[in-house]
Structure formats: C-alpha cells, structure tokens
Structure 1
C-alpha cells in the first residue's frame, strides 16, 4: 500500500481528528478541574475554554465522519472551517511570540481592568493585591491581607510569568496551526481520490 493511496489518506485524516478530539476533551476537562479545585471562579473564562473545546470537538467530529464515510459535503465544509481556524490561530500565535515586554504589560493591564472575577482569582492564587497600585478600600481575596505582612503588587509577579506563558501558548498554537494546514491538504487530497472498493463507474 502506497502512503499516498486512499487508505493511507483516510487513516491519517482519522488519526488527526482523533487527536483534535482528545485535545478538545482535555480543554473541557481542564476547565472543569479549575472549577472543582477553586482555581477559576470566573464563569466567562470557563465559558470561553469550554466553548473552544466544544467547537474543536464538533470540527473533529465532522472531519471524522467525513473521513470514514468519504462524504464530499462534510469534507468540503471541514476543509473550509479548518482553513479559517488555521488563519486565525497562526495570526494569534505569531502575535503572542512577537509581543515585547511593554506590549505585554499594556495587554495585561487591559485584561486586569476588564475582568473583575478573574482578577479575584489571580489575587487569591498569587497572593498579591492590586495591579500597579492597591487601594485599601478595594476587594482583595489574598491571604496576605489578613496577616500582618504587606501585600505585593500583582503586576511584577504576573510580568515574570507573562513572557513564558505567551511563548508557550504561541509555540503550542503554532504547532497546532501546522497540523491544521496538514489537515486541509489531506482533506483536499482525500476528497479527490476514488474509493477502490466503490463502483468504478460512479462519480467521486
């Protein structure tokens, strides 16, 4: 059996979609784990992670059914959606890798000011209060506030991890974006191949 044949293309496409299915279930599991252990209380953050997981799961399901049945319409829509996801993910990954320290700081401050519930999670988990300054009248769930120790500001602590996190997220996103373009190429190739078990006089 040649690797460029019908069966090989079908098996590769099925394996790729099984990988996407596992990643989607992992995302949903991480969100559930974060809620269960009290690490994340923001419903918005959890909702976004779960929505991305469900979206990826549905795409993988469409690709898997299309690959198994050699369904032309499902494979076409799968190919188009995967191409759009690739463009968005590749752009975001490159942006994550290209951000300098000043841009990271500005982005973190915007995120800090716009997410109150995530802010409480950060202050509790990192044991800090305020971003660049802290008003004693503001709410802070950090344990340092209940003790006699002075609370650290969150900006320097988050800044230490921001670069590493962005590089990690950008690298993972870049890796998966190349698997997506591989999926688009495999789908295009597979759609134009004829099933050797089918009627030779049938259309593709």
Structure 2
C-alpha cells in the first residue's frame, strides 16, 4: 500500500474518540484508523486525555437504589462480540459492518455498484464499486461526505486518492471523481445529506439509489 496522504481532520478524530460522531462517519473513521498509524495515534492520544479528565473528576453521591442498579449491571455477563479480520480489500470494521458476508452489490449504471451498509436519520454509509476509468456523475453536496479508498484509486478536482486516503467533501466542493487505471476503485463513503447531482438522469434516479 502506498503512503497515506489524505487523513481525517483532527477535530473529527477527537469527536470519534469522545463517541460524538454519527454511526456512518464513525465507521469511516474506525476503518481509516485501522490502517493509518498516524491517525490511530491521534485518537489514542485523545482517549488518554479523556481518561485523565475522568480520573480527575470529583466523586459525587448517588442514591442507594442507583448504586444497587449499577452494581447489578456490573454483575451481568458481557456477551463476547465477534472479532472480524480483514477480508480482501475490506478492513475489519467493514467486515464487521457486512456481518462477515460478501458485499451485495446493486447496480447504479455504467458499471458503478453500491452496497448500503447502514442508513438512518443522521446519514448513510455505503460501499461503492467504480470500474477503472469510470467517472461518478458530477455532483455537489448538501452536507458532509467522507470517502475512504479501500482498493484502487480515484482522482478529482482536488487531487489523487489512493488506498487509505480519505476525501472530506462539504457544500463548497463540486467534483467529478474518476476511478484510476488498474484495479476497480472500491470506496467506503458516508454522507449526512443527499448529494446534489447536476445532470437530469442522476437526479431522477436519486430517490431509487438513496444517495
């Protein structure tokens, strides 16, 4: 894998460490830090600071019933969650989101495919498969989009993005991503609002594709 050049912004890493990110963005951050030592170190630093703050916080009194409820919860066995290893181009957090299955690709046209991993009122996260040399229709953004490259590469108006790179797009960016030569480009993309497609056909199909 080539060196990672585009990272998660530190305020977002801090929000992730504090547990304040929506699920869609948290999955992208978790996947990125699983392969990026630099951003993983930043998250660990924020977590360490948070731990110190908790330790330095003063104790406060609770009712006897609340104390009993808390102690009973500590006595309950914690179910062991399965640990997912990397599978092909998919790091552990993505394999976990897939629940160990292979992606269920749905065609979007021109060879582009997607698998929506999660969707709620706060946003959505999906895998995108883009054949070599294929462009994603020109579009802008109504909110924030994080796109993490898992395989292959793409270029757009802002530069080149290879495996491990994350593009952070907001309302100021309008672009036309184009997959690079070689392997198909597979990305993990999270959004908190629908995209703004400029062409009529993508706009017409947008409610069907939920993107």
TM-score of the pair, normalised by structure 2: 0.22
Higher helix share: 1
Larger RCO, structures 1/2 (Cα 8 Å, 6+ apart): 1
Structure showing greater Rg: 1
TM-score of the pair, normalised by structure 1: 0.22
Higher strand share: 2
